[in-house]
Amino acid sequence: TRQNGWHILKAALPPKERRGVILIDPPFEESGEFDRLAESLAAAWKRFATGIVLLWYPIKDRAAVDGFYRRVAELASEQQPILRCELAIHSVGSDGPLAATGLLVCNPPYRFEETYRAVLDDLARALARTPAARASVTAL
């Protein structure tokens, strides 16, 4: 049966193992997806604080993404850090094709930041369409 992933996320957490990875890849077909994503992350983390949560999102509207980051930063702590990973192959614009993408990594594994930074740097160089291509990994 087809079910709404947002409802399944609530129902499936926490797993009895108390460990795991959740990948959230919303369709971004409706308005308010960043709000829904932030709310879902907060709910998931309350139920599954020991898990790793990966949130993928497109970057087409910098203001919307920055607002999302501000909401999510309130959830971060030293015990549960959040990494903001971005890859842009050319300038971001809401009219054109997808130029940049992001991945939030909540509660990243040991040494994830340095390894993923190297991977994103290589991808930015390989996929660059303009000098505006860049990659970054920063803590929220």
Active site residues: 25
Rounded Cα distance between 118 and 35, Å, is 30
CB neighbourhood size of 105 (10 A): 20
Which parts of 74-130 fold into alpha helices (H)? 112-127
Q: Which two tokens stand for residue 104?
A: 């939030």
**Beta-ladder partners of 102:** 57, 86
Whose tokens are 């594994």? That residue is 109
Query: What is the sign, positive or negative, of the torsion defined by CA atoms of 115, 26, 126, 137?
Result: negative
The kind and range of the H/E element at 35 are helix 33-47
